[in-house]
């Protein structure tokens, strides 16, 4: 492998080279910094690239490894954090120019854990303002460009910069957050892997909140194995986040290579396939055939719980109320909101406590019902999004157009959030314009091991993940 191709290599390949001594953490960081600095003026994926700080951390990583203090398979690997995740000494703007002076003095728990696992922070990636928006549009700080589009296509949101950076080979892994699809949507539209863990498994401490009920934190990577390695380092109870008290220790690596043979896979229909682009439908059907050819037992799944979950949470009632409360507590009198976000927060403030509690109870009951309904299913598959990426000019042509695409891109993903599921998005094809199509694999709560096992089996059997955009 030529060192000029390092940016297309997944975490596990970079790790092997670091550990066999043919690649140093410093030279690796220099490579990614050079590439990111060259591409960022065009792609706008990174908010911050503090070069000297990143190189200093890489040198410390290299010295630790030389002294025998090997932190494990992630040692020396650069990573980026979505700009709603606190990094001590760097601004957390949450995609808003009104937060430029918000400099935390403590890392978010997820950043602490990745540092402990040996990873090296490279920078912070752009996001939708306050992480609210499926297309990935940020009218104040600029919308990151999807690396696959010949013109400016949306990257998906709200982890827009994280997905664009990983897809373009600017960083091997970037953290994202997911409340209604904000890891999986950009992963699907940009052609990366995106893992949304079960709420409670990964701490949100030090992450600007959108919905205390639905928020989760996870990785965007170039490979399924890389995502599993990162989740292994991230998950577990954290006193700083009470929601993690029921977190269970997981071993995603133990059965990762078990393959798809014997897995019980549902091909979800119903709401998931309504008004879906024909190219997307064909790619998902082919993915189901691929899994069946690997020995999985595939059957069609009606999944009526999906529609019921959407009906139980009209106009994203739960996250609207919880976002309104979070902003009222943290930013009283704040005036720098995007008009779309201001409308959503105002709507959240207008919802009655009775209607909010009704939605919470209904979705909690549906989540329990769904877990029972999936008793004889290991995972189920859908398209990540029913359409591929569209030009920014088309998506943001008007408020009506924006709201249409916001709802369309999040339709399939938000169901997993409401039902308490874990999920991963992997690439399963490209449309006629050369834009990625995402396959979403859902698992039952706290069953991330089955999800990554199925995803890796599919990844190994196909070559979609080997493609890179021409940037």
Catalytic annotation, residues: 82, 158, 182
The Cβ of residue 346 has, within 10 Å, a number of other Cβ atoms equal to 12
Q: Which tokens go with 61?
A: 């990583």
Contact criterion met (CB below 8 Å) for 423 and 448: no
Looking only at the bridges linking them, the beta strands covering 297-301 and 264-268 are parallel
Contact criterion met (CB below 8 Å) for 198 and 216: yes
**Alpha-carbon span 64 to 60, nearest angstrom:** 6
Contacts 24+ apart (CB under 8 A), 101-104: 104/206
Among 248, 247, 284, 233, residue whose Cα is nearest residue 441: 284
Whether the bond into 231 is cis, omega within 30 of 0: no
CA angle, residues 83, 88, 91, in degrees to nearest 5: 40
Contact criterion met (CB below 8 Å) for 179 and 226: no
DSSP H/E element including 402: helix 399-418
DSSP H/E element including 265: strand 264-268
Contact criterion met (CB below 8 Å) for 465 and 163: no
Q: Which residues contact 439 (CB under 8 A, 6 or more apart)?
A: 283, 284, 287, 381, 382, 383, 384, 425, 426, 427, 428, 458
DSSP H/E element including 372: helix 353-373
**Alpha-carbon span 9 to 194, nearest angstrom:** 16
The Cβ of residue 426 has, within 10 Å, a number of other Cβ atoms equal to 31
- Maximum C-alpha span of the chain: 61
C-alpha separations of 24 from 78, 221, 244 in Å: 12, 20, 35
Which of left, alpha, beta for 127 (phi over 0: left; psi -120 to 50: alpha)? Answer: beta
Q: Which residues contact 34 (CB under 8 A, 6 or more apart)?
A: none
- Alpha helix (H) residue ranges in 173-238: 184-190, 224-234
Contact criterion met (CB below 8 Å) for 43 and 168: yes
Looking only at the bridges linking them, the beta strands covering 78-82 and 120-125 are parallel
């Amino acid at each position: 492998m030529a060192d000029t191709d390092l940016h297309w290599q997944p975490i596990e390949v970079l790790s092997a080279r670091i550990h066999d001594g043919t690649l140093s953490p410093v030279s690796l960081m220099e490579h990614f910094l050079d590439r990111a600095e060259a591409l960022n003026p065009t792609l706008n994926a990174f908010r911050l690239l503090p070069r000297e700080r990143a190189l200093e951390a890489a040198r410390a990583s290299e010295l630790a490894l030389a002294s025998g203090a090997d932190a494990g398979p992630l040692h020396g690997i650069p990573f980026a954090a979505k700009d709603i995740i606190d990094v001590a000494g760097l601004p957390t703007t949450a995609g808003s120019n009104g937060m430029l002076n918000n400099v935390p003095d403590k890392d978010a728990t997820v950043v602490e854990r990745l540092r402990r696992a040996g990873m090296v922070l490279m920078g912070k990636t752009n996001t939708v303002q306050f992480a609210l928006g499926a297309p990935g549009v940020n009218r104040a700080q600029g919308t990151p460009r999807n690396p696959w589009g010949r013109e400016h296509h949306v990257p998906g949101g709200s982890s827009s910069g994280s997905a664009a950076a990983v897809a373009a080979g600017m960083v091997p892994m970037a953290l994202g957050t997911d409340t209604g699809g904000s890891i999986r949507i950009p992963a699907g539209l940009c052609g990366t892997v995106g893992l949304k863990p079960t709420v409670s498994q990964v701490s949100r401490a030090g992450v600007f909140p959108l919905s205390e009920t639905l928020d989760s934190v996870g990785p965007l990577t170039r490979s399924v194995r890389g995502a599993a390695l990162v989740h292994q380092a991230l998950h577990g109870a954290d006193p700083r986040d009470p929601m993690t008290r029921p977190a269970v220790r997981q071993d995603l690596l133990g059965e990762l290579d078990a393959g798809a043979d014997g897995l019980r896979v549902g091909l979800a229909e119903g709401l998931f396939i309504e008004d879906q682009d024909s190219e997307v439908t064909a790619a998902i059907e082919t993915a189901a055939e691929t899994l069946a050819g690997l020995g999985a037992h595939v059957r069609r799944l009606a999944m009526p719980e999906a529609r019921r979950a959407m009906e139980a949470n009209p106009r994203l009632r739960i996250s609207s109320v919880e976002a309104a409360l979070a902003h009222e507590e943290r930013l009283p009198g704040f005036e720098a909101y995007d008009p779309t976000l201001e409308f959503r927060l105002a709507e959240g403030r207008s919802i009655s406590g009775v209607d909010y509690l009704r939605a919470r109870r209904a979705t909690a009951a549906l989540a329990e019902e769904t877990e029972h309904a999936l008793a004889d299913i290991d995972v189920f598959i859908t398209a990540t999004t029913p359409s591929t990426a569209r030009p920014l000019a088309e998506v943001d042509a008007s408020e009506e157009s924006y709201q249409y695409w916001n709802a369309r891109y999040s339709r399939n993903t938000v169901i997993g959030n409401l039902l308490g599921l874990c999920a991963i998005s992997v690439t399963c094809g490209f449309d006629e314009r050369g834009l990625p199509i995402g396959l979403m694999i859902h698992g039952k709560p706290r069953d991330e091991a089955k999800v990554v096992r199925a995803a890796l089996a599919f990844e190994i059997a196909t070559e979609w993940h080997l493609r890179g955009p021409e940037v």
